[in-house]
Amino acid sequence: LEEKLSTMESEDQILRQQSLLNSPVKRMSEHLAIPAAPK
């Protein structure tokens, strides 16, 4: 159950990153140079 939960959290994180990449916040994220965001 924990493994499934962490998988869901990972997918949610990915969806958030994708939505960030597709939004004006992208420039702000790049400016902050978040290491967790793959190029």
Give the position of tokens 């939004």.
Answer: 23
Q: Has residue 7 been placed in a domain?
A: yes
| pTM (two decimals) | 0.40
Q: Is the pLDDT of residue 2 over 70?
A: yes
Q: What does the block give as tokens for 34?
A: 């978040």
Number of folded domains that form the chain: 1
37 inside domain: no
Sign of the Cα torsion 17, 23, 27, 28 reads: negative
What is the per-residue pLDDT across 11-34, written as a single tens digit (0 to 9) for each?
988 888 887 666 666 566 566 665
Q: Rounded to an integer, what distance in angstroms lies between the CA atom of residue 31 and that of residue 16?
A: 18
User: What residue numbers bound the domain in which 27 lies?
Assistant: 2-32
Rounded Cα gap, residues 25 and 18, in angstroms: 11
8 Å CB contact between 29 and 20: yes
Which pLDDT value is given to residue 17? 82
Is there a domain that residue 19 lies in?
yes
Predicted pLDDT at 38: 57
